[in-house]
Structure 1
Amino acid sequence: MSAMDIHEILKYLPHRYPFLLVDKVIAYETGKSIVALKNVTINEPFFSGHFPHHPVMPGVLIVEALAQAAAILTLRTKGSVSSDDSVYYFVGIDGVRFKKPVMAGDQLILKVEIERQIKGVWKYTARAEVDDKLITEAKLMCTARNV
């Protein structure tokens, strides 16, 4: 198991502010799993509208953070990095459940495991946690496509 800082993450993800949702990779095992984190601060641009009186991270962004962690794991597994000629897309999201809201000040722990890969489509089991409590779970399917 190894870790990655933000400089290495930027090699794998094309996302940049305000849409980069992985701050650090705590551990990964190539071909198997990744544990990453997103520090959720009050300075996030989405908090000004979701909701000003009760800042909650939108659920779709939690799922996106899980997908970004999955993309890092997949590209690392394939031995490649982000490029201008391909994009890693969602092809399916199943069984998404939101158990608790994510608030400003939370540290979102993103846990993704590869279930299988068939013909360029990768399927993952993903979960997000805060303080060791399940926040969100989902089955994700993604693939890389040339642009």
Structure 2
Amino acid sequence: MNMSALPHRYPFLFVDRVVEHEPGKSAKGYKLISENDWYITETQKEMPFSIVIEALAQTAAFTALTEGTEIGFLSSVKKAECFGRAVPGDKLDLYFEVLRYKRGFLFGKGLASVNGQKVAEAELGIYMESGT
């Protein structure tokens, strides 16, 4: 999937690749965590939880890319929970599934994992901006 569909660029693009996406239903992607990522420092040895949630939101935006939709923007985060960590060398798998639509918004559940172990999950709301 072409990452230029998102307005984000380095250093604020937190998804390396979207490997599957079905508009209006789900999206799967990943981020390879590196020692060279700007948020990895001597004192911060893992990907911050807030950035994991942003990576899920960027993955979720691909479910909003339907005909007539220009882009999806994160509008809400609920029930965000941290279960583990993603450190340099890890492949952070990202998955988002749409659960419902309401007046130009889609809502669903995001899951981030490393080697099948849950790292984070959250309920996300995405505002679907129409192209005019």
TM-score calculated relative to the size of structure 1: 0.81
Aligned pair partner of 2:18 in 25, 42, 53: 25
Q: Which residue of 2 aligns with 1:85?
A: none
Counterpart of 2:19, as a letter, is I
1:77-116 Cα deviation digits (max 9, x unpaired): 345455xxxxx43221111110011111110000100111
List structure 1 runs of 4+ shifted beyond 4 angstroms.
79-82
| Higher helix fraction (1 or 2) | 1
Q: Which stretches in structure 1 are left out of the alignment for 5+ residues? A: 83-87
Q: How far apart are the structure 1 equivalents of 2:120 and 2:11?
A: 21
1:36-91 Cα deviation digits (max 9, x unpaired): 0111111000112xxx145111000000000000112211x345455xxxxx4322
TM-score calculated relative to the size of structure 2: 0.89
1:13-50 Cα deviation digits (max 9, x unpaired): 000000111111121223211110111111000112xx
Q: Which stretches in structure 2 are left out of the alignment for 5+ residues? A: none
Aligned length: 130
**RMSD, aligned CA:** 1.7
**Residue identity (%):** 32
SS at match of 1:36: strand
